């Protein structure tokens, strides 16, 4: 079974530039998460999707971040414009369940560096 796929793996941009990350979850997983992980910290949720619907986006900085999950499969997370503080690893995860027993499977992440 293929795992969660993310691209790109690494991205270096100048501040104020836009950037986008792509995620393809495990086949059949309806729940998709985007996390941000800073060095020495645990992942922090940005947004959670159930199929096409964003069911929790309270932690997403909506002035510069946007996300979509068309057709309930692939998802894209965008930052525009990027700031220095956005440098982090952006992780996508998927889960076969939406309830409390939501074991999550993570993709390899995208390491973003904003200069």
Partner 1 sequence: QKEVEQNSGPLSVPEGAIASLNCTYSDRGSQSFFWYRQYSGKSPELIMSIYSNGDKEDGRFTAQLNKASQYVSLLIRDSQPSDSATYLCAVNPGGGSYIPTFGRGTSLIVHP
Binding site for partner 1 (CB under 8 A): 40-45, 48, 56, 89, 91, 98-109
d(CA 85, CA 106): 23
Residue closer to partner 1 by CB (options 15, 34) is: 34
How many other CB atoms are there within 10 angstroms of residue 68's CB atom? 13
Residue closer to partner 1 by CB (options 27, 58) is: 58
Residue closer to partner 1 by CB (options 17, 52) is: 52
Q: For residue 3, what are the contacts with CB-CB under 8 A and spacing of at least 6?
A: 26, 105, 107
């Amino acid at each position: 079974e293929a795992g969660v796929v993310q691209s790109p793996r690494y991205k270096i941009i100048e501040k104020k530039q836009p950037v986008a990350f792509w995620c393809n979850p495990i086949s059949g997983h309806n729940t998709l998460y985007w996390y941000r992980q800073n060095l020495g910290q645990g992942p922090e949720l940005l947004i959670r999707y159930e199929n096409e619907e964003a069911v929790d986006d309270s932690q997403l900085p909506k002035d510069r971040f946007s996300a979509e999950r068309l057709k309930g499969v692939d998802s894209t997370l965008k930052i525009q414009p990027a700031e220095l503080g956005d440098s982090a690893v952006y992780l996508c995860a998927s889960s076969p369940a939406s309830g409390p027993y939501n074991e999550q499977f993570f993709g390899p992440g995208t390491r973003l560096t904003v200069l």
